[in-house]
């Protein structure tokens, strides 16, 4: 028998079984942050700013590296299901996000714009601001352009009708006014 790939034998959570998820959840519930002491103040300030903006932001900074590049996203998803809002997880070998407030596209876009070499605090700040910055609403732009074209077409049609009406009012006066001798034209050829 030829085996191409071995099925995963461990559940996802076993990858990060060394984490105290209950303690992380408790910290996120009370302060919004789980991070080393030297990063907590700045991250708590970001969480408070997000709260003032009407968003529930939670930031986790881990010192563990994981072999699976999706581990941080899986951790974020697990925590987000427990605390809600938006969860950003940072570690030495990557980051992960999960949110009920922002779409996956917004989160991925925000992640891709993080400056290389940023600290977790800088990255979290950049990601949050990118996620909440107003994005172009292409549906609105498209609808606006369609409405503009329709209005332009209606105006052009009305101008064309007005021009034709003006031309038709001028033509009968010039053509049907009678002969030059003052007698009405009866339509018979003159001899």
pLDDT higher than 70, residue 7:
no
pLDDT value for 9: 45
Region of poorest pLDDT, from 18-22, 70-74, 109-113, 136-140: 136-140
pLDDT higher than 70, residue 22:
yes
* Residue where the block lists tokens 């996956």: 104
pLDDT higher than 60, residue 134:
yes
Region of poorest pLDDT, from 73-82, 112-121, 155-164, 174-183: 174-183
Question: Which residue did the predictor score with more confidence, 130 or 58?
Answer: 58
pLDDT value for 56: 94
Question: Which residue did the predictor score with more confidence, 118 or 11?
Answer: 118
- Euclidean distance between CA atoms 189 and 22, whole angstroms: 110
pLDDT value for 113: 78
- Euclidean distance between CA atoms 4 and 12, whole angstroms: 21
The C-alpha angle with vertex 139 and arms to 137 and 141, in degrees rounded to 5, equals 70
pLDDT 10s digits, 53-105: 999 999 999 988 888 878 899 999 999 999 999 999 998 888 999 999 988 88
Among 39, 38, 56, which Cα is nearest to 47's? 56
pLDDT value for 149: 94
Q: Are 39 and 116 in contact (CB under 8 A)?
A: no
> Taking the CB of residue 142, how many other CB atoms lie within 10 A of it?
10
Question: Which residue did the predictor score with more confidence, 178 or 60?
Answer: 60
pLDDT higher than 70, residue 171:
no
Give me the phi and psi of 59, to 5 degrees please: -125, 130
CATH topology of domain 12-132: Diaminopimelate Epimerase; Chain A, domain 1 (3.10.310)
pLDDT higher than 90, residue 147:
yes
Domain boundaries defined on the chain: 12-132, 136-167
Angle between helices 120-132 and 37-52 (to 10 degrees): 10
pLDDT higher than 80, residue 50:
yes
Q: Are 50 and 33 in contact (CB under 8 A)?
A: no
Q: What is the mean pLDDT of the chain?
A: 82
pLDDT 10s digits, 151-162: 999 999 999 998
The C-alpha angle with vertex 173 and arms to 170 and 174, in degrees rounded to 5, equals 85
């Amino acid at each position: 028998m030829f085996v191409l790939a071995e099925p995963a034998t461990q559940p996802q959570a076993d990858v990060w079984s060394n984490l105290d998820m209950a303690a992380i959840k408790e910290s996120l519930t009370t302060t919004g942050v789980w991070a080393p002491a030297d990063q907590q103040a700045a991250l708590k300030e970001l969480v408070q700013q997000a709260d003032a903006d009407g968003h529930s932001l939670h930031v986790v900074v881990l010192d563990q590296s994981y072999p699976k590049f999706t581990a941080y996203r899986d951790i974020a998803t697990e925590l987000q299901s427990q605390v809600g809002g938006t969860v950003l997880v940072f570690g030495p070998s990557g980051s992960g996000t999960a949110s009920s407030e922002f779409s996956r596209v917004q989160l991925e876009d925000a992640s891709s714009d993080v400056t290389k070499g940023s600290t977790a605090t800088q990255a979290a700040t950049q990601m949050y601001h990118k996620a909440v910055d107003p994005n172009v609403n292409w549906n609105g732009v498209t609808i606006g352009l369609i409405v503009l074209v329709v209005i332009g077409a209606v105006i052009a049609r009305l101008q064309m009708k007005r021009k034709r009406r003006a031309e038709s009012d001028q033509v009968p006066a010039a053509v049907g006014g009678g002969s030059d001798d003052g007698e009405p034209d009866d339509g018979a050829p003159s001899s």
